Structure 1
């Protein structure tokens, strides 16, 4: 399926490798942060969800004439910008905790389900690879250094793995995708359990930094012998091989929308802030690194007219935009979850406390 990223109303940064312990490639054309004057119908944050928000923005613009602009700057930057009120909404793959939502006067709700995949580039390797959390964790600790390491060979019998150094690619920015990836590692690898899930982990010296999902995908595609992690849409767009993973039930699962949906079906969305965790979900068919981007908006709006436009945009996305989510291999939110989201939307008010939606 061909993904279209040049979309009306989308101001997405196309960002490649930069920063970190080792820098081997830099991207051009990073998008600037949104400005306070543009707050309201602008958003910024998660690159995980950028393909979908871009598609929604394009189709909604056609239907309504309203332009919703989104900058793919990473979850950390998105959270920072919504706190500073320089955008109308932020997006983060790491949910904000209930206390932080209250302290910052924010409302949070999920958007659509996607999957983080381990991608790799080994020239002339025909057999698709399989990883588990223990091996991926050891690779990202710098403990497994060669593609023909016995631990990788044991998971991939018959594969002609080269005696070649592994080039480890990771995010250089504060990243919700990194949070989901390391949350999975923390549930499957003892050393990562001690380190915990984080948007900005302390990566080992020698790993290669990439800005955004875009930057990680660019680096993996560029370097023979590399491994990285991206949202599934970026693997497909860049034609990079995504590995199968061993899930919580011990089953080898390929990355598909159906596998993401299986993981999402186990989620409890009724927790504070709708902050459900989808990683390492039970189920024979569940993808082990599923997640969502959480939309963040201020509970009391300084510009209720722009807030109303944004709420109509998301309401459209959860109804008319479901087909676009499926087209891009995201999983639309089930009707019962959409009902919970709309209750969250009703908590967004003008300065007098009157609900905007």
Structure 2
């Protein structure tokens, strides 16, 4: 009887706790973003800084550019992230804004015993032929001729590529298409590809882990993953074919200096294989896709405005450059809310 007497109060308290928990969860997930793994480490750092200073929550999931595009178009998330800039026609059809956030690089990473980071040089032809399965051994005469001082192994080249729809793949294959007519004609350019060789892994995270753990591998990953796991990256030919350049702050900045961002074309631009001496050839900007008519979009704008102004310093250590202040101002004016 005593239990029955207090049962209504207990039931009320259970429902009250559940209601408060639901509110807390909703607040913790106030903003939901998903997409590209290329800038994921940057966005994680920005989210943490926003939470620390503003006490507001944003959740970002690294699911690949293809997933981010699909989910923002389906209104599953508040903002999507893509390394491939969508066309103005595509954006208009989906009622989306698009703006750049950071500029980074894709590296050709390798795991070769006794060969240090930056020691290996690979020409455009060699890289494309490795991924076309025309060069299959590390001691191929063309690789040896370009790297006479290195002790390359008599071993099969193990190629690693992305298995998911990926903006990193889009930009890497766009570079391969620019430097190799055969690649463009046979394989093409896209977020998902019919790879002639290799094994697939999900996300920059998955590719990086295989490269780290498996000898005689080669693959492509965003620079911050190379830095985080201490992977080795090859020197590649610049856009003018004058020198072999290493992916560092200087070579990426040289490429980024050629970027022209304008709201007139929804900030579409390409830095791939830019024709500039010493510029790293696989440099790319990454983009946010934002619904025009969502009540949550002004909060997304607020988050990125804060991040541009207060979190930019967190970005450089990851190998990224934040878009210039002049472009940030254009972005804020372009977002009409």
Identify the TM-score tier after normalising by the shorter chain: 0.7 to 0.9
Query: Which one of 270, 276, 285 corresponds to residue 278 of structure 2?
Result: 285
1:233-244 correspondence runs (5 A): 233-244=224-235
* Distance 1:162-1:323 versus aligned 2 partners, 3 A rule: same
Partner of residue 227, structure 1:
218
Partner of residue 349, structure 1:
none
Aligned partners of 1:247 and 1:253 also within 8 Å: yes
Aligned partners of 1:39 and 1:87 also within 8 Å: no
Partner of residue 91, structure 2:
101
1:343-354 correspondence runs (5 A): 343-346=333-336
d(CA) in 2 for partners of 1:140, 1:39: 41
d(CA) in 2 for partners of 1:44, 1:37: 17
Partner of residue 268, structure 1:
260
Aligned partners of 2:88 and 2:265 also within 8 Å: yes
1:307 shift after superposition: 2.3
Query: Which one of 51, 55, 65 corresponds to residue 45 of structure 2?
Result: 55
Query: Which one of 184, 191, 204 corresponds to residue 175 of structure 2?
Result: 184
CA RMSD of aligned residues (A): 1.7
For structure 2, the residue ranges without an aligned partner over 5 or more in a row are: 1-25
1:296-335 correspondence runs (5 A): 296-301=289-294, 304=295, 306-335=296-325
Pairing 1:136–2:136 present: no
d(CA) in 1 for partners of 2:104, 2:144: 29
For residue 63 of structure 1, give the secondary structure of its aligned residue in structure 2: helix
1:47-126 correspondence runs (5 A): 47-126=37-116
d(CA) in 2 for partners of 1:41, 1:332: 22
TM-score by length of 2: 0.88
Partner of residue 157, structure 2:
166
For residue 186 of structure 1, give the secondary structure of its aligned residue in structure 2: helix
Superposed CA offset, 1:21-63 (max 9, x none): xxxxxxxxxxxxxxx9998601000000000000000001011
Query: Which one of 247, 252, 259 corresponds to residue 238 of structure 2?
Result: 247
d(CA) in 2 for partners of 1:322, 1:257: 15
**Higher CA-based Rg:** 2
Query: Which one of 223, 239, 251 corresponds to residue 259 of structure 1?
Result: 251
Number of equivalenced pairs: 308
d(CA) in 2 for partners of 1:262, 1:39: 38
* Distance 1:269-1:156 versus aligned 2 partners, 3 A rule: same
For structure 1, the residue ranges without an aligned partner over 5 or more in a row are: 1-35, 347-354
Q: Larger helix proportion, structure 1 or 2? A: 2
